[in-house]
């Protein structure tokens, strides 16, 4: 997840619009930005939003069988999530967002943190029948304005079922949500040129 401090560097450079949430807590994930702002940040650091299929692969790993990024069995101490029906739960130590990376036991097989819970993450995919290929076509800006976008990962306000690696949810791409953030993806050819700001 991209932190507020990382996103603020993009705002200071004039490449991103400010988040609608206060930037208190520089280690917290940036939230309250729309899909286009998330994509602009990714471009600023030399990356892009992941496709939905890429996001799920990052969460499940090579064997593609993990129900959660850390494994098959649920463990409430490995993800910052809420309780049904859509309410915060502080039993994990956080009544809202948690600092990025504070639950290392919840890492995916690739070592990625916070893929389950904390902040929903925008993807570069429109909400439609699930694309099974990582190279699924990314939507144009016009598509973004018209269609629902896929977010993945669940968040601090939603219950554990939304944190499953296979769970997908749809949101309006032109709106902001106080629980929606960013994960940067890199194309293989650009992996060596990404800036330090993209790293958590």
**pLDDT given at position 176:** 93
Q: What is the CATH number of the domain that holds 146?
A: 3.90.1580.10
Is there a domain that residue 87 lies in?
Answer: yes
Find the DSSP H helices in the chain.
Answer: 4-12, 35-44, 52-60, 141-146
Is there a domain that residue 143 lies in?
Answer: yes
- For residue 156, give every residue at least 6 positions away whose Cβ sits within 8 Å of its Cβ, in sequence order, or none: 80, 81, 82, 88, 94, 96, 97, 98, 117, 118, 119, 179
**pLDDT given at position 138:** 58
Question: CA nearest 121: which of 144, 154, 147?
Answer: 154
Cβ burial of 193 (10 Å; 0-12, 13-18, 19+) is: exposed
Token output for 58: 């990052």
Is there a domain that residue 191 lies in?
Answer: no
Q: At what angle do helices 35-44 and 4-12 cross, to 10 degrees?
A: 80
**pLDDT given at position 196:** 46
Neighbours of 25 (CB within 10 A): 15
**pLDDT given at position 194:** 44
Token output for 96: 């809202």
Is there a domain that residue 167 lies in?
Answer: yes
**pLDDT given at position 130:** 62
Is there a domain that residue 192 lies in?
Answer: no
Is there a domain that residue 197 lies in?
Answer: no
Question: What domain count does the chain have?
Answer: 1
Q: What is the mean pLDDT of each successive set of 10 residues along the chain, which is 200 residues long? A: 97 95 86 96 98 94 88 90 63 81 95 96 86 54 70 92 91 92 86 47
| Partners of residue 117 on adjacent β-strands | 80
Is there a domain that residue 193 lies in?
Answer: no
Is there a domain that residue 120 lies in?
Answer: yes
**Domain region containing 91:** 4-186
**pLDDT given at position 107:** 96
Q: How far is CA 195 from the centre of its chain?
A: 19
**pLDDT given at position 195:** 45
**pLDDT given at position 91:** 64
DSSP 159-196: -GGGGSTT-EEEEETTS--TTEE---B--GGGGGG--G
């Amino acid at each position: 997840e991209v932190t507020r401090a990382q996103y603020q560097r993009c705002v200071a450079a004039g490449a991103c619009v400010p988040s609608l949430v206060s930037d208190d807590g520089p280690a917290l994930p940036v939230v309250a930005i729309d899909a286009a702002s998330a994509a602009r940040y990714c471009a600023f650091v030399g990356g892009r939003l992941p496709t939905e299929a890429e996001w799920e692969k990052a969460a499940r790993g090579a064997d593609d069988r993990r129900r959660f990024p850390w494994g098959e069995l649920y463990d409430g101490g490995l993800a910052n999530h809420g309780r049904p029906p859509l309410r915060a739960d502080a039993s994990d130590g956080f009544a809202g967002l948690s600092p990025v990376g504070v639950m290392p036991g919840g890492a995916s097989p690739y070592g990625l943190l916070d893929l389950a819970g904390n902040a929903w993450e925008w993807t570069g995919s429109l909400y439609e029948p699930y694309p099974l290929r990582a190279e699924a076509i990314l939507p144009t800006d016009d598509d973004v304005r018209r269609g629902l976008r896929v977010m993945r990962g669940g968040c601090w306000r939603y219950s554990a079922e939304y944190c499953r690696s296979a769970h997908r949810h749809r949101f309006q791409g032109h709106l902001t949500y106080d629980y929606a953030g960013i994960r940067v993806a890199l194309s293989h050819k650009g992996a060596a040129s990404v800036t330090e700001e993209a790293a958590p």
